[in-house]
Amino acid sequence: MSPAEARLKEIPSGMSDAEWNQRVNLAACYRLVALYGWDDLVDTHISARVPGPDHHFLINPYGLMFEEITASSLVKVDLHGNQLSESEYSINPAGFTIHSAIHEVREDAGCVLHLHTPDGTAVASCMEGLLPMNQTAQFVTHDLAYHDYEGVALDHDERPRLQKDLGNKNHMLLRNHGTLTVGRSVASAFERMYHLERACTMQVRTRMLGPTAYPIEQAVIDKNERLFANADFAERRSTELVWPPLLRKLDRIDPSYKT
Domain boundaries, the chain: 3-258
What confidence tens digit (pLDDT) does each residue in 227-253 have?
888 888 889 999 999 999 999 999 999
Q: What are the angstrom distances between the C-alpha of 106 and each of 110, 182, 194, 210, 242?
A: 9, 9, 21, 40, 24
E strand or H helix at 85, and its extent? Answer: none
Tell me the pLDDT band of 1, cut-offs 50, 70 and 90.
Answer: very low
Q: 48 forms bridges with which residues in the sheet?
A: 58, 111
What local confidence, expressed as pLDDT, does residue 199 receive?
A: 98
What local confidence, expressed as pLDDT, does residue 2 receive?
A: 46
CA atoms within 13 A on the CB side of 187: 15
CA 199 from centre of chain: 15
Strands 45-49, 111-115: pairing is antiparallel
Beta-carbon neighbour count of residue 149 at 10 Å?
A: 13
What local confidence, expressed as pLDDT, does residue 12 receive?
A: 64
What confidence tens digit (pLDDT) does each residue in 83-104 have?
898 888 888 888 889 999 999 9
What local confidence, expressed as pLDDT, does residue 160 receive?
A: 96
What local confidence, expressed as pLDDT, does residue 210 receive?
A: 87
Average pLDDT over residues 212-216: 91
What confidence tens digit (pLDDT) does each residue in 156-209 have?
899 999 999 999 999 999 999 999 999 999 999 999 999 999 999 999 999 999
What local confidence, expressed as pLDDT, does residue 78 receive?
A: 93
Tell me the pLDDT band of 13, cut-offs 50, 70 and 90.
Answer: low
The backbone region for 92, taken as left when phi is positive above 0, alpha when psi lies in -120 to 50, beta otherwise, is beta
What is this structure's pTM?
A: 0.92
Q: Which CATH code for domain 3-258?
A: 3.40.225.10
Instruction: Please state, rounded to an integer, the average pLDDT across all residues of the chain.
Output: 92
